[in-house]
């Protein structure tokens, strides 16, 4: 559920997890973080994704080919292109480990 205000009016957007993931990917590919009017929505979706991944015990790693490998506590594995914010986080983690 995404809440916000638009022209002094409140609105509510409901979406399932698949729809939210697709919206986040679409915003990420469109560089939404560069547009002030999309930054709040983008930030909320990123935070929601982080919380969901934390609850699922997801561990991420950056593969040599630039893809992201995600493994949850049940061993389910996904390999996919990284999102902008994930690259920043993984690069910072690599710096800390060195």
Q: What would the pLDDT profile of 67-85 be if each residue is shown by its tens digit?
A: 999 999 999 999 999 998 8
pLDDT at 9: 64
Evaluate the CA torsion angle 41, 43, 48, 52 in order and state its sign: positive
Q: H or E stretch including 26?
A: helix 17-29
Query: What pTM was computed for the model?
Result: 0.74
For the chain, strand residue ranges (E) read 2-6, 9-13, 59-62, 68-71, 77-80
* Residue whose token pair is 């609850």: 55
């Amino acid at each position: 559920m995404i809440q916000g205000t638009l022209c002094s009016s409140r609105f509510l957007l409901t979406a399932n997890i698949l729809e939210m993931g697709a919206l986040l990917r679409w915003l990420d590919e469109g560089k939404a973080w560069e547009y002030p009017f999309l930054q709040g929505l983008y930030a909320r979706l990123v935070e929601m994704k982080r919380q969901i991944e934390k609850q699922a015990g997801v561990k991420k790693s950056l593969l040599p080919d630039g893809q992201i490998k995600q493994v949850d506590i049940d061993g389910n594995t996904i390999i996919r292109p990284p999102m902008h914010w994930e690259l920043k986080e993984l690069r910072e983690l690599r710096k800390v480990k060195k």
